[in-house]
Copies of this chain bind each other. A is one copy, B any other.
């Protein structure tokens, strides 16, 4: 959806040349860090291909709390908006093709295309909603049920993401996840 918007912007007959150069395309290998805890997020990334994860370091433990796939936009929102150090790391899980939009570019475009800002607001609500659902699932469900739900609602995560990331996302150890998968 967001991807569509970007494509449309880039084709805009009037501003095509002017705006097109605001976007930078890039390819990154697996495990490439795009944003580091403590740094200020200056970019929004649109995923053309591949996938990314948002994670943070908790006493040396790597905790993933959101995955992003094709046609999604990603940013450490609070950091990007308020220009303050990010609490989170953003990293590629697969070799990925990304479209990068800087804060400056975002502001220029945002003035011409209100949809872009609306889209960003929705991105924020989406993230909030993600928190709410993760929270409620941790309250209501035990790890096995959380896993079963994930298989049902996000099979692409099961298919594409290494298990230890999924484990931390579910709030359990990789060992425990392995038990759940195999003692069915």
Q: Which A residues fall within an 8 A CB radius of B? A: 58, 63, 65, 128, 131-132, 134-135, 138-140, 171
Contacts and interface: CB of A to CB of B under 8 A. Distances in A.
> Mostly helix, strand, loop or mixed at chain A's interface?
helix
A175 to B, nearest CB: 18
Contacts of A134: 135
A166 to B, nearest CB: 14
B132 A58 contact: no
B128 A63 contact: no
Nearest to A140: B58
A134 B128 CA distance: 12
A138 B140 contact: no
